[in-house]
Structure 1
Amino acid sequence: MTANEDLAPSESKFSQVLDAAARLPGVRINRAAYLRVALKRYCTENQIERAITETPAAAGIPLKTIHEAANASIGYETTKVTGLSAIAGIPGGLAMIGTVPADLAQYMGHMLRISQKLAYIYGWPALFDGEDLDEATESMLILFVGVMFGVQLAQGGVTKVAAMIAANVAKKLPQQALTKGVLYPVVKKVAAHLGVSMTKKLFAGAVAKAIPLVGAVISGGLTLGTFLPMAKRLQNHLATLELTKPGHRTEGAS
């Protein structure tokens, strides 16, 4: 068996979980609607509209304000995922509809939610285009989740995609690069790595739920201890990229 064949099951396992999570209600974030809500406390209506048609940076919104909006989103998602994880750890909670897979799916769903929110507030174009999860979007989400897990290869991939978007002043992901081009092998390797990490989390979650009286506490505690730092890791990386620079303009901007 070759090294690539050995990695294939883990890659496939992670992709299946990601695809399932992407189909859960409320996981897909509408970019325009999110930016309106996230920025309304800090910005004028004109700034918000320009942030939507271009980017928050291009709208002249200070990076400090963007950080504050991002932190608010992280806090919101962390609270939600921790609460749901605690419920899943209680016998009769989410455990009744699939035990660990249900908990893992909702956890991954919140990772996808915060990935989208952080991407949009830090200048990325809409990730979902239509009802289906296309291959380029799936690849981008794999890279974002990889950054959250601290995968160095994923950080490099996200940096390259951001540079491509900035250089081409594009409003869409670079489809070719993510699905067939230079970034595709990177995405495959990151997915395989995440498949292994996911299996470890699956085991940890199963152990927590095997202790009825403290299962909810352990499950919620593990989630708080992992989700928050992972979200901050993605935030810190996105904040350094070209798309956060005020000089970045999207197609058609003056």
Structure 2
Amino acid sequence: MTEPQQIENPGSKFSQVLDAAAKLPGVRINRASYLRTALKRHCTEEQIKRAVAESPAAAGIPLKLLNEIANTSISYETSKVTGLSALAGIPGGFAMIGTVPADLAQYMGHMLRISQKLAYIYGWPDLFAEDGDELDEATESMLILFVGVMFGVQIAQSGVTKVAAMIAANVAKKLPQQALTKGVLYPVVKKVAGYLGVNMTKKLFAGGLAKAIPVLGAVLSGGLTLGTFLPMSKRLQKHLASLDLTKPGHRAAEDEDVVDLVVIDDEPAEKVEAAER
């Protein structure tokens, strides 16, 4: 099999949007800085240091408090994406996007921001390398799974759960590169990307809204944005909060299979939940 350098069509269409959004100024969240800022009003300096070095759960921060912090981040990002995004106003900010509509890249940028914030609050390691503009394959695959969860794709939920189990079992400080790019999780990533490539634009731009919005300087309808971004963020929050990474000291059982995830047929496994309010 040829090594996957890019998710094939229609998944490649979604990957193009994701890659363009990830290059926008302000989209990448520094894990350490975010955790220090989010926790400083609620935790001791010692707790914050351990949360950064390990995870908030390992620092003994209660899940109830983590949920409150996550809700604050969701409210902040929802407010930004509903109003005029600062990303759209940066001169030259969309020069790198090419054929990806600017409003779609902008919206995706906010989805990536809240995905990172929620992941870090609920115990995930750094998603982006410190240096370099390009997404590595493992990070791209993980972000695809996170966005899939936001859209209610069930197979994406199982993929995220499996990655969390791998990280918890190995006390890893990085994503499982092999599993996400060439191993057992890659077929799941490919199916999720394909689903998103077909359905994302339809979901976000219902009623021909996309054609009515200019490509540059566009702002999505506040009502439509609020009605999609908020419930999708809540869906990802709920799933991440339920995983083993929120439980300090967790180890997978010795006989627990944390790598054998197989797609056994080509039938659609996705089911999109009805959007919350």
Task: Give TM-score scaled by structure 2 length.
Answer: 0.78
**Structure 1 residue runs of 4 or more that deviate by more than 4 Å after TM superposition:** 97-100
Rounded Cα–Cα distance in structure 2 between residues aligned with 1:210 and 1:99: 17
Rounded Cα–Cα distance in structure 1 between residues aligned with 2:181 and 2:206: 33
Q: Residue 112 of structure 1 corresponds to which residue in structure 2?
A: 112
- Structure 1 contact 100–205 (Cα < 8 Å) conserved: no
Q: Residue 91 of structure 1 corresponds to which residue in structure 2?
A: none
Q: Residue 17 of structure 2 corresponds to which residue in structure 1?
A: 17
| Residue correspondence of structure 1 range 231-250 to structure 2 within 5 A | 231-248=233-250
1:185 to partner: Cα distance: 0.5
Q: Residue 156 of structure 2 corresponds to which residue in structure 1?
A: 154
1:211 to partner: Cα distance: 8.5
Matched residue of 1:155: which SS? helix
- Structure 1 contact 209–219 (Cα < 8 Å) conserved: no
Rounded Cα–Cα distance in structure 2 between residues aligned with 1:21 and 1:161: 23
Q: Residue 227 of structure 1 corresponds to which residue in structure 2?
A: 229
| Residue correspondence of structure 1 range 7-46 to structure 2 within 5 A | 8-46=8-46
Rounded Cα–Cα distance in structure 2 between residues aligned with 1:162 and 1:58: 15
Deviation readout 1:92-150 (Å, 9 max, x if unpaired): xx9xx999811111100000000000000000000001323100000000000000000
Letter in 1 for 2:192: V
- Structure 2 contact 10–198 (Cα < 8 Å) conserved: yes
Letter in 2 for 1:12: S
Unpaired stretches in structure 1, ≥5 consecutive residues: 1-6, 89-93, 250-254
Q: Residue 180 of structure 2 corresponds to which residue in structure 1?
A: 178
- Structure 1 contact 142–190 (Cα < 8 Å) conserved: yes
Rounded Cα–Cα distance in structure 2 between residues aligned with 1:205 and 1:24: 27
1:186 to 1:98, Cα distance in 2 relative to 1, 3 A: closer
Rounded Cα–Cα distance in structure 1 between residues aligned with 2:67 and 2:135: 28
Rounded Cα–Cα distance in structure 1 between residues aligned with 2:205 and 2:234: 24
Rounded Cα–Cα distance in structure 1 between residues aligned with 2:16 and 2:99: 17
Report the RMSD for the aligned CA atoms in angstroms. 2.5
Q: Does 1:64 align with 2:55?
A: no
Letter in 2 for 1:116: Q
| Residue correspondence of structure 1 range 212-223 to structure 2 within 5 A | 219-223=221-225
Deviation readout 1:133-189 (Å, 9 max, x if unpaired): 100000000000000000001000000000000001100000000000000000000
Q: Residue 124 of structure 1 corresponds to which residue in structure 2?
A: 124
Letter in 2 for 1:144: F
Deviation readout 1:39-71 (Å, 9 max, x if unpaired): 111111111110000000000001111001100
In the comparison of the two structures, how many residue pairs are matched?
Answer: 232
Letter in 2 for 1:123: G
- Structure 1 contact 205–219 (Cα < 8 Å) conserved: no
The alignment-based identity, stated in percent, is 83
Rounded Cα–Cα distance in structure 2 between residues aligned with 1:61 and 1:218: 37
Letter in 2 for 1:225: G
Rounded Cα–Cα distance in structure 2 between residues aligned with 1:100 and 1:79: 24
1:113 to 1:205, Cα distance in 2 relative to 1, 3 A: farther
1:196 to partner: Cα distance: 1.1
Task: Give TM-score scaled by structure 1 length.
Answer: 0.85
Q: Residue 254 of structure 2 corresponds to which residue in structure 1?
A: none
